[in-house]
């Protein structure tokens, strides 16, 4: 290493200084090479020379941008650059971080990266910068997951949910619930440690009240999962109907392209066809399915089974009827299949004479939005899009609301509820405080796991492997 720069913030070098290109690969206006670790400034000083021709020195000022050159070991200029030092702990990783900004050619970026590696840096793993931010206590685990959700956001609603979590709104709510559980555990510990004071029966009602209040808050959070998942991943909307009702034509109309095969022969669609569209600020995963009908052919039956499975997993069913024909046994099969789902009834072929009995549909699918359309002329298509949007986004969201959007969070909260149910049952049955405390401890473990109060390396690997290198 050519530089002897030290900084008073350098911690013990227990972790290697890592480096990665923090901007997307390829050509662009600018490229950023990021270093993090105790030797970041020293490594940067070995290859960066300030614009006045002087090397970096101990007088370098944090958060100040320095213009200069990045040079080869022999002094040859690689590129002009801007260097900024973020002094620990006021940096993304809570370590010393140096960012070197060069022109956005891929070859230039790789040359600077290689120089950092030559001077002793180690190549960062995917998500390692954010992982260090978590390990060093700058963010918790739910905030770390929110970082990748911000990056992957594909709509305004997804971004609002992710930034809310990144700002710590979810963390604050969960931390308060965790503190409430600590208070419950303290009350139990007092009864265990001082049994002569007979705290058990005096405080039974208070214990139940506290546990019930915590469970109520968790129930509220669990109630946001469907909406949060839709904002994060998009809504799964299944087009379901009997053969030749016009599902594939509707799919093409919503996509505004000929994506699904349309023929006058029934049973053309044998498998699921999934495409993504955007309605306002929410992504919709639109699924064309095999038609439901009685006594299908063997190969068609496989497609119908897949349709039934997709119906179970969907967030919304668009139930399609051919309004130019009376209801038949296949329509009634369809009504039965969709009866327990969030749904919209769509009467297709409104450009033809109406033969269907709307009142029978309303009788078997009560409180169902019903819209008339023509998949071929696109009449009523705008109304259908509005109805789909209202169904999947009707609860709304804003940047300050507390929403869960990941299955990991939902599962941990559900397990917390189960543990607290057992604790309440033990209180009501007047069991020993030791039994109650075991379940409260278990609830704390599940709840704390969301924000990373307890975790294992396999979980961290799973989470941070979602990240790109450089973040």
DSSP per-residue codes, 196-251: GG-HHHHSHHHHHHHHHHHHHHHHHHHTTHHHHHHHHH-EEEEEEESTTSSHHHHH
Summarize the confidence of residues 252-256 as an average pLDDT: 88
Q: pLDDT: is 387 or 198 the higher one?
A: 387
Rounded to whole angstroms, how far apart are CA atoms 3 and 391? 62
pLDDT at 348 over 70: yes
What is the per-residue pLDDT for 5? 47
Query: What order of strands is seen across the sheet that includes strand 235-241?
Result: 273-279, 282-288, 235-241, 316-322, 343-348, 369-372
Residue-wise pLDDT tens digits, 39-69: 999 999 999 999 888 888 768 899 999 999 9
Residue 62 Cα distances to 65, 96, 102, 130, angstroms: 8, 10, 19, 21
pLDDT attached to residue 267: 46
Question: Containing H/E element for 85?
Answer: strand 77-86
Which residue reads 């958060």 in tokens? 63
Q: Considering only the top CATH level, what class is 18-124?
A: alpha beta
268 pLDDT exceeds 70? no
Higher pLDDT, 369 or 97: 97
- The whole-number pLDDT of residue 318 equals 92
Residue 439 pLDDT: 94
Query: Would you place residue 359 in the very low, low, confident or very high pLDDT band (cuts 50, 70, 90)?
Result: confident
| Segments of 229-323 assigned E as strands | 235-241, 273-279, 282-288, 316-322
Q: How confident is the model at residue 98 (pLDDT cuts 50, 70, 90)?
A: very high
Q: Is the per-residue pLDDT at 269 higher than 50?
A: no
Q: Which of 260, 258, 259, 256 minimizes the C-alpha distance to 279?
A: 256
Q: How many CA atoms lie within 13 A of 184 on its CB side?
A: 33
What is the structure's pLDDT at 164?
A: 92
Cβ neighbours of 432 (radius 10 Å): 14
Give me the mean pLDDT over the 440-453 stretch. Answer: 94
Residue 341 neighbours by CB under 8 Å, 6+ apart: 311, 314, 316, 317
What value does the mean pLDDT of the chain take? 85
- Round to whole Å and give the CA distance between 163 and 148: 10
CATH superfamily of 145-224+403-464: tRNA modification GTPase MnmE domain 2 (1.20.120.430)
> What pLDDT sits at residue 262?
44
C-alpha–C-alpha distance, residues 93 and 36, integer Å = 7
Cβ pair 267, 297 in contact under 8 A: yes
Of 321-335, 384-398, 445-459, the least confident: 384-398
Is 50 exceeded by the pLDDT of residue 266?
no
Cα–Cα distance for residue pair 392/77, rounded to 1 Å: 56
Rounded to whole angstroms, what are the CA distances from 433 to 7, 328, 424, 428, 445? 53, 63, 11, 11, 18
Note the pLDDT of residue 261.
41
Q: What is the pLDDT of residue 154?
A: 78
pLDDT tens readout for residues 23-47: 988 888 999 999 999 999 999 999 9
- Residue 256, pLDDT score: 82
Burial category of 317 from C-beta neighbours within 10 Å (exposed 0-12, middle 13-18, buried 19 and up): buried
Residue 53's pLDDT is: 83
Q: Based on the number of CB atoms within 10 Å of its own CB, is 421 exposed (0-12), middle (13-18) or buried (19 or more)?
A: middle
Residue 38 three-state SS:
coil
What do you get for the CA distance between the two ends of the chain, in Å? 26
Tokens of 340: 């327990």
Q: What is the pLDDT of residue 297?
A: 52
Position 366 confidence tier, pLDDT thresholds 50, 70, 90: confident
pLDDT at 201 over 50: no
Domain boundaries, the chain: 18-124, 145-224+403-464, 234-393
CATH number of 234-393: 3.40.50.300
Q: In this predicted structure, what is the pLDDT of residue 198? A: 54
Distance CA 164, CA 156 (A): 12
Alpha-helix runs per DSSP H in 60-155: 106-118, 128-135, 141-152
Q: How far apart are CA 45 and CA 78, in angstroms?
A: 15
Percent residues over pLDDT 70 in the chain: 87
Q: Quick one: pLDDT at residue 292?
A: 67
Cβ-Cβ contacts under 8 Å for 374 (sequence gap 6 or more): 348, 349, 350, 351, 380
Degrees, nearest 5: CA angle 380-382-388: 105
50: β partners: 68
Provide the 3-class DSSP secondary structure of residue 282.
strand
The whole-number pLDDT of residue 195 equals 62
Residue 272 has a pLDDT of 77
């Amino acid at each position: 290493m050519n530089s002897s720069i030290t900084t008073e913030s350098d911690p013990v070098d227990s972790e290697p200084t890592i480096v990665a290109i923090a901007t997307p690969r390829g050509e662009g206006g600018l490229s950023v090479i990021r270093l993090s670790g105790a030797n970041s400034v020293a490594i940067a000083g070995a290859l960066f020379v300030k614009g006045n021709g002087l090397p970096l020195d101990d007088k370098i000022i944090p958060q100040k941008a320095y213009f200069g050159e990045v040079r080869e070991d022999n002094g040859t200029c690689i590129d002009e650059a801007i260097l900024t030092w973020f002094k620990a702990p006021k940096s993304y990783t809570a370590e010393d971080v140096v960012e070197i900004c060069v022109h956005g050619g891929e070859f230039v970026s790789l040359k600077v990266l290689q120089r950092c590696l030559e001077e002793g840096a180690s190549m960062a793993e995917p998500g390692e910068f954010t992982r260090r931010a978590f390990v060093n206590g700058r963010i918790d685990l739910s905030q770390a997951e929110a970082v990748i959700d911000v990056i992957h956001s594909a709509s305004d609603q997804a971004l609002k949910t992710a930034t809310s979590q990144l700002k710590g709104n979810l963390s604050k709510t969960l931390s308060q619930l965790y503190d409430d559980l600590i208070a419950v555990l303290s009350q139990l510990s007092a009864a265990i440690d001082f049994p002569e004071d007979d705290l058990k029966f005096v405080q039974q009602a208070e214990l139940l009240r506290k546990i019930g209040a915590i469970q109520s808050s968790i129930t509220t959070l669990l109630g946001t999962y469907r909406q949060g998942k839709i904002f994060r991943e998009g809504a799964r909307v299944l087009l379901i109907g009997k053969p030749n009702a016009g599902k594939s034509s509707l799919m093409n109309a919503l996509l505004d392209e000929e994506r699904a095969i349309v023929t006058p022969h029934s049973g053309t669609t044998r498998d699921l066809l999934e495409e993504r569209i955007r309605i306002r600020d929410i992504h919709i995963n639109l699924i064309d399915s095999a038609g439901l009908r009685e006594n299908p052919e063997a190969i068609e039956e496989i497609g119908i089974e897949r349709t039934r499975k997709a119906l179970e997993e969907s967030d919304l069913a668009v139930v399609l009827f051919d309004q130019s024909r009376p209801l038949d046994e296949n329509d009634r099969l369809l009504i039965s299949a969709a009866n327990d789902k969030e749904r919209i009834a769509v009467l297709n072929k409104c450009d033809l004479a109406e033969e269907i009995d709307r009142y029978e549909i309303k009788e078997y699918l009560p409180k169902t939005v019903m819209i008339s359309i023509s998949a071929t002329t696109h009449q009523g298509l705008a109304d259908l899009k509005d109805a789909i949007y209202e169904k999947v986004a009707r609860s709304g969201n804003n940047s300050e609301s507390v929403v869960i959007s990941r299955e990991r969070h939902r599962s941990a909260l559900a397990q917390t509820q189960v543990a607290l149910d057992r604790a309440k049952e033990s209180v009501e049955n007047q069991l020993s405080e030791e039994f109650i405390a075991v379940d409260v401890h278990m609830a704390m473990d599940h709840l704390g796991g969301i924000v990373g109060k307890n975790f294992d390396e396999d979980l961290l690997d799973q989470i941070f492997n979602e990240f790109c290198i450089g973040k």
